[in-house]
Amino acid sequence: MKISVIGTGKTGSKVVEMLGDNLAHAFDENNPPTVEKLRQSDAIIIFVPGDAVPEIFDMVLESGVPAAWGSTGYEWPQGLDEKVKTANTKWVLATNFSLGMNIIRNAIRELSSGSNILNNPSFNIHEIHHIHKKDAPSGTALSWKEWLEKEAEVTSEREGDVNGIHELTITTATEKIKLTHEALDRSIFAEGAIWAAEQLIKRVSLTSGVYTFGELFDLVIKESRND
């Protein structure tokens, strides 16, 4: 199994390190990818800023190689699923590659449902990241709001070299509920991205098209229960 990495910043470099002998190519501004080199891989893991996605989008699509995208701050074009299906390949998109974040996703949905019986609750999602993160609020914070399916204030903070802290607070006049996820080490994102790429390669039940990381996680859990 050979996996290429596009983007060798804070998280991409962790992926390169963890792949070891399974690394096909590591691409960055000084060593840009080509379709030919991408096709030497079984899968591609991509960690580039949202504004860099257009530079490689067509190339990754043309390669036909399954890809795990960890780019945030980019609005994916309409018809993306059809484009990927036409290329006969598979993509997974993630705002956050933490496997534990999928447990959080389910917890947020339970909290959202339970909050319906509370008296006039208010919702706040606060995220903290390192000072070099360009998009605010984070893609993960926006995903939390989507999972919550409630009107919520989303706030952001940038400080030091924080890997990522997300907190949901539900407040009423008489009580406060908090749910927090903190990334203690950037390797959790690398682990999740490699896991996703491996699923794209080996899981025969995955048909061509675009999956969210949550959809991929749920599919694998469901299949493991049926084994």
Spans of all domains in the chain? 3-97+187-226, 100-182
Q: Alpha-carbon Rg of the chain, whole angstroms? A: 18
CATH 3.40.30.10 correct for 100-182: no
Contacts of 74 (CB under 8 A, 6+ apart): 50, 51, 53
pLDDT tens figures, 190-200: 999 999 999 99
Point out which residues pair with 200 in neighbouring strands. none
What is residue 186's predicted lDDT score, i.e. its pLDDT?
Answer: 86
pLDDT tens figures, 65-81: 999 999 988 999 999 99
Q: Which long-range contacts (CB under 8 A, 24 or more apart) does 99-103 make?
A: 99/188, 99/191, 99/192, 99/195, 99/217, 100/181, 100/188, 101/140, 101/181, 101/213, 102/213, 102/214, 102/217, 102/218
* 226 has a pLDDT exceeding 80: no
As a whole-number percent, the residues of the chain with pLDDT over 70 amount to: 100
**Which residues participate in catalysis according to the annotation?**
129, 133
User: Tokens in use for 188?
Assistant: 């959790």
CA 217 to chain centre: 11
**Average pLDDT of every residue of the chain:** 95
Confidence of residue 227 (pLDDT cuts 50, 70, 90): low
* 106 has a pLDDT exceeding 70: yes
Total-model pTM:
0.82
What is residue 135's predicted lDDT score, i.e. its pLDDT?
Answer: 87
What is residue 222's predicted lDDT score, i.e. its pLDDT?
Answer: 87
Average pLDDT for residues 164-187, to the nearest whole number? 96
pLDDT tens figures, 6-36: 999 989 999 999 999 999 999 999 999 999 9
Q: Do 100-182 and 3-97+187-226 have the same topology in CATH?
A: no
Average pLDDT for residues 57-64, to the nearest whole number? 97
* 111 has a pLDDT exceeding 90: yes
What is residue 96's predicted lDDT score, i.e. its pLDDT?
Answer: 87
* 114 has a pLDDT exceeding 70: yes
Task: Name which residue leads in pLDDT, 4 or 72.
Answer: 4
Residue 166 backbone phi and psi in degrees, to 5: -125, 135
Size of the chain in residues: 227
* 224 has a pLDDT exceeding 90: no
* 134 has a pLDDT exceeding 80: yes
pLDDT tens figures, 36-52: 999 999 999 999 999 99
User: Does residue 138 contact residue 164 with C-beta atoms inside 8 Å?
Assistant: yes
Instruction: Mention the CATH class of domain 3-97+187-226.
Output: alpha beta
